[in-house]
Structure 1
């Protein structure tokens, strides 16, 4: 039995999802003639109360398009030091849009409205122009942490007072909605643009969607083309997204429950220094300083349990829909009984 907890992107489409994909009606999406893509985009736009949505092959491309829509070369985006757009998008902010990031030293990937105010550059020609604030919910490097919606509203007020755009990297927003009992319309009312991922936790093989109102989204398809993201009969992929939205959101609760249970077992291990707070499906923990991280990971791998290192001594596990109850029982048993003295 192979237990892969490196990410919630390692899942494979279920039989029901594959059936939905094979039954999809398709057309050439470059001509905007793929009916299933059009249905997905309309559905997601309506969910968030936005005028337009656009289907992308990846969350990175959706985020990079949003940055391009909000900024001009030389501008600056305010984000957390843990932000995906800064850490995990290959320097795309500077490469694609010619912008820099003003990094906030937040708490588990989250910051306050006051910190945003303090990060805005003065209105002088020799400063980079601050034009956008970006947040990530849930926070990946923050261990799947969920933002306080009241703080998000305060940040929105700062954006409005300073004429700044507001973008949400909602790659795992679905997890936050389930935990916090919030809804998509709430977020649509706050943010100018939102990217949501369908291949993280939702079980799809490919795909993200960017939403916003017409004024800011009008050039999104042009930028997607520039980035090489236009697809032809993409309805087969969009059908997976439609299936996931209809069937795979509520079940995220199961992933969250398993993650919390794993965290409890990790705290009992004498070699574990700290397990960060667990709210959703991400478990981040650190080993004691005298424990060899590579040896620890290697011992797990030999037992067909796969996790990843995030650097700076942090290890990560992520639960997902292909992580079954049987796998969960095996992992818990391994943590309870295996000799991790290394």
Structure 2
């Protein structure tokens, strides 16, 4: 297999910068299980403050942060509503059902990533012993790189609250949404009770997410984190990377978005390539007349790693470890495409 020189598979492949590593090395630490790691405590406070919430909980992964959120809002036999393409429904190993005994109720995502209000309303179960109890609406922003329109978010959350539901946001890339839309991240988070935000991906920390929300739910979540095996000891070393990411890497997300636009424009100029203009840092590519698997192999032969093929679609994600030279290399590889025999 050819070596990957330019890695567009995901923004999860980023590595800590030298300055971030220095911050990690200098971190003051303590035992976080006892609540004594000052760097973890600071990260939780900073993240909660940025997102406009009372408290935060540092988790090793976004998957765990979302699962904790679901389990704080829902009891055994309860149900949450989410989009068919939501990460916490489709790509988190069924954890809510396996570990929380919580039933997912997926509904169709619209082309812009939103959920239709009529679909949400129809999915809410009546109070009847035959049904799971609908307790939560979970949305995701960005959704496949698309920014959810804030008006749609507000309307969906208002509908949920009228029905007595809580609201959770999988904000894995919420800072991308804030930078690209010009809307403050706290305003994007405001309609939701709880919000998870990823510190890796575009922000470039080596790991970690912060779940934010009301203090009572976060206190409950801290116990759930222990149950789920996510309690850590001298975690300030990695929490320092998260603080550095929040302080230094948010505004630079605009560079990733600009690189994604350039990438989309270059790929769209190649015959057979169909591109949806990206909102943020994720570019989806459809190729006509050939398998996306073959196209993925072609990119790899040119030293360009791209995301998993979905039928006739590929995904390319820009991030701090692929700059303009990587974008041009990907465009050049596309220009060399001659179909499955190439």
Same fold (TM over 0.5): yes
1:91 equivalent in alignment to 2:90: no
User: What does the per-residue CA deviation read over 1:202-243, in whole Å, with 9 as the maximum and x for residues that have no partner?
Assistant: 010011000011122221111001110011110010100111
Distance 1:308 1:48, change over 3 A: closer
2:284 corresponds in structure 1 to 284
Equivalent residue in structure 2 for 1:134, among 138, 145, 164: 138
**Which runs of 5 or more residues in structure 2 are unaligned?**
none
* TM-score computed with the length of structure 1 as normaliser: 0.95
- How much does 1:335 deviate? 2.8
Q: Distance in 2 between matches of 1:291 and 1:329?
A: 23
1:74 corresponds in structure 2 to 77
1:341 corresponds in structure 2 to 339
Query: Secondary structure at the residue paired with 1:90?
Result: coil
**Which runs of 5 or more residues in structure 1 are unaligned?**
none
1:65 equivalent in alignment to 2:63: no
Over aligned residue pairs, what C-alpha RMSD do you find?
A: 1.4
- How much does 1:310 deviate? 4.4
- How much does 1:6 deviate? 0.2
Distance 1:186 1:292, change over 3 A: closer
1:219-258 alignment, distance < 5 Å? 219-258=220-259
Q: Distance in 2 between matches of 1:186 and 1:37?
A: 24
Q: Distance in 1 between matches of 2:268 and 2:327?
A: 17
Q: Distance in 1 between matches of 2:21 and 2:10?
A: 21
**Paired residues of 2:137 and 2:167 also in contact (CA < 8 A):** yes
Q: Distance in 1 between matches of 2:223 and 2:6?
A: 41
Query: Secondary structure at the residue paired with 1:107?
Result: coil
Query: Secondary structure at the residue paired with 1:201?
Result: helix
Equivalent residue in structure 1 for 2:123, among 107, 119, 123: 119
1:307 equivalent in alignment to 2:277: no
Q: Distance in 2 between matches of 1:157 and 1:323?
A: 40
Q: Distance in 1 between matches of 2:7 and 2:66?
A: 27
Q: Distance in 1 between matches of 2:232 and 2:309?
A: 32
- How much does 1:160 deviate? 1.7
**Paired residues of 1:296 and 1:340 also in contact (CA < 8 A):** no
